[in-house]
Chain A
Amino acid sequence: MSSIIDFFDTVVVFAPKFIPGVIATLQLAFFSILIGTVIGLFVAVVKLANKKPLTFVMNIYITIIRGTPLLLQLWFIFYGLPGMGIEIDRFPSAVIGLALHNGAYISEIFRGAIESIHYGQREAARSLGMTRGQALKRVVLPQAFRRSIPALGNQFIIAVKDSSLASVITITETMLLARQFVAATFDVFPIFFVAASYYLVITMGLAKLLQKLETKLKVGVR
C-alpha cells in the first residue's frame, strides 16, 4: 500500500519537472517532421522526374540514411562534422539529423503514393493543356497526399519516438531528463512511467490529428 502511495508521490513530483524536456521533444519532433516532409516531397518529385544523375544522387541519400543507424547519423553530424570544419549547434544538429532521417523514409512513402495514382489522371490533366508541374500540383499530389496519410502517420509517430535519440548529443529532451532523474533518485519505475506517459500522449494525439485530416481529405475519393 505504501509503495503505491510512494509511486504516485514520485509521479506527481516529477511530472512537472519533465515539462522542459517534453517541450524539447515536441520541438524536435515538430521541426524534424516538417523539414523531413519537405525533403521527402522534394526527393520523391525529383526521383519521379526520371533524370538519371539526380535520381542517382537521391538514391545514394536514401541508401545511406536507411542503411545506417540513426544513432550513428546523429553522432556523425554533431561529433564527426566538426572534425571537417563544420560545426553546428546541438539543437540544429539534432533537427538536421532527424529531418534527413525522416526525409528518406517519407520520400519513399510519397513516391509510392504518387506512383499509385492512375496515369489517366495525369493524362487528363495534361490533355487540358496543363504543364507537368500544374498536373502534379493540381491533380496528382492532392490525391497522392491523401493516400499517403496512413503511412505518413506511422512515420510521424516513429519520428516522435526517434527524437529521444537526440539525448545522445546531450539535448535535454524527455529521455535525457528521465535518465538524469533516475540517476539522481533511483526511482526507476515511476520516472520511466511518467516519461512513457508523455510519449503516449504525444503519439496518440498525433494519431488522432492525422485521422481527422484523413477524414477531411477523404471527400470524393473511393
Chain B
Amino acid sequence: MSMIEIKNLHKYFGDLEVLKGIDLKIEESDVVCLIGASGSGKSTLLRCINYLEKKTEGEIWIDGKPVDETEDGINKIRQEVGMVFQRFNLFPHMTVAENVMEGPVTVKNMDKTEARKLALDLLEKVGIADKADVYPEMLSGGQQQRVAIARSLAMEPKVILFDEPTSALDPELVGEVLKVMKDLAQEGMTMIVVTHEMGFAKEVADRVIFLHDGMIAEEGPPKEIFENPKHERLQAFLGEILA
C-alpha cells in the first residue's frame, strides 16, 4: 500500500495544460526529489497533492484510500500532508512557539499547555528552542524555514511536501535547513521535495523525478539520474544546473 498514489493527474489553468497525465507512487519513508525547469509544473504537482490547487482530472490516493474530495475531507488530508513553502509563510503576528502551536490548537483542539510543550520539543529538534518567544521577523531566513518545518511537524503529518525550501535563502543558510530535512528523512518521514540542491538529492533521495513540460520525463535512483541521464532534456537541464 503506497503512501501516495497519483493516477493520470491532469491540471489546466484555463486553456493551459500544466500537468499532462502524471502517474506516481510514493511508498512510506520514501524521499523523492522533484526536479525540472522553471514552469515544468513542479509546484503545481505538489499543490495538487494537498489540494491547494484543484486538479482537473485524475485520482489521488493517500495512505491507501482515495481522497475524500469534500471540504471536510480535504481539511483532513491536509492534516496528514504537511507543506513547507519557499517563502516560509510564517504567521508574523504570532511568536515562533505560537506559530508551531497554531495547527494543533486550532485544528486539533489540543490543550495550550500541551501544545506549547510539543512546540518546544519540535523547536529543540530543529535547533532553535532558544527563539521560542520571539517573533519571526527577528529570525534569519534559515531559522524561519526551520520554524516552518516545525510548524508542519506539529500536525504529525504522514508526508511533508517541500516546495523549494532553500531557494529563498542566502547560500550560507541553506545548509542548516537541509540538515534538518536530512534528519527527518533518516527518521523515516515520507517527503516530496522540489529542489535544485543536487547535493541533497544525491545524498538523501531514494528517487529523483525529472518533470518536463507537465510530464514525468525520467525517474530513477539519484545515481542513475545524475550520472547516466537518458532524456536529452534532462541532460541539458543537469548541464545548466551543475555548470
A134 touches B107 (CB 8 A): yes
Contacts of A130 in B (CB 8 A): 75, 103, 106-107
Q: Taking CB as reference atom, which chain A residue is nearest B87?
A: A120
Contacts of A220 in B (CB 8 A): 92-95, 135-137
Kindly identify, within residues 125 to 149 of chain A, every residue whose CB is under 8 Å from any CB belonging to chain B. Answer: 125-131, 134, 138-139, 142-143, 146
Contacts of B82 in A (CB 8 A): 127-128
Kindly identify, within residues 92 to 136 of chain B, every residue whose CB is under 8 Å from any CB belonging to chain A. Answer: 92-95, 102-103, 106-107, 135-136
Contacts of A222 in B (CB 8 A): 92, 137
Complex: how many Å from CA A118 to CA B83? 17
Interface of chain A, helix or strand or loop or mixed?
A: helix
The reply to whether the CB of A123 lies closer than 8 angstroms to some CB of chain B is: yes
Q: Which of A129, A134, A146 makes the CB contact (< 8 A) with B93? A: A146
* Mask: chain A, 138-179; 1 = CB below 8 Å from B; 0 = not: 110011001000000000000000000000000000000000
Contact A143 B76, CB 8 Å, known A123-B85, A138-B102: no
Contacts of B92 in A (CB 8 A): 143, 220-222
A126 touches B137 (CB 8 A): no
Contacts of A127 in B (CB 8 A): 50, 52, 78, 81-83, 152
Contact A123 B75, CB 8 Å, known A129-B107, A138-B102: no
User: How many residues on chain A are close to B (CB under 8 Å)?
Assistant: 23
Contacts of B148 in A (CB 8 A): 124
Query: How many Å from the CB of B161 to the closest CB on chain A?
Result: 8
Contacts of B155 in A (CB 8 A): 128-129
Complex: how many Å from CA A219 to CA B135? 8
Q: Taking CB as reference atom, which chain B residue is nearest A131?
A: B75
Complex: how many Å from CA A10 to CA B207? 89
Contacts of A123 in B (CB 8 A): 52, 83, 85, 89
The reply to whether the CB of B212 lies closer than 8 angstroms to some CB of chain A is: no
Q: Taking CB as reference atom, which chain A residue is nearest B103?
A: A128
18 contacts between A and B (CB under 8 A): A120-B87, A120-B89, A121-B91, A124-B85, A124-B90, A126-B78, A127-B52, A127-B81, A128-B106, A130-B103, A131-B71, A138-B102, A139-B91, A142-B93, A143-B93, A220-B92, A220-B94, A222-B92
Q: What is the interface of chain B, defined by CB distance below 8 A to chain A?
A: 50, 52, 71, 75-76, 78-79, 81-83, 85, 87, 89-95, 102-103, 106-107, 135-137, 148, 151-152, 155
Closest 10 CB pairs of A and B: A220-B135, A124-B89, A129-B79, A128-B103, A120-B89, A127-B83, A129-B78, A129-B107, A129-B75, A221-B92
Since A123-B89, A129-B78 are in contact, a sample of 14 more A-B pairs with Cβ atoms closer than 8 Å, ordered by chain A residue number, is A123-B52, A124-B89, A126-B78, A127-B52, A128-B151, A128-B152, A129-B79, A130-B106, A138-B102, A139-B102, A142-B93, A143-B91, A143-B92, A221-B137
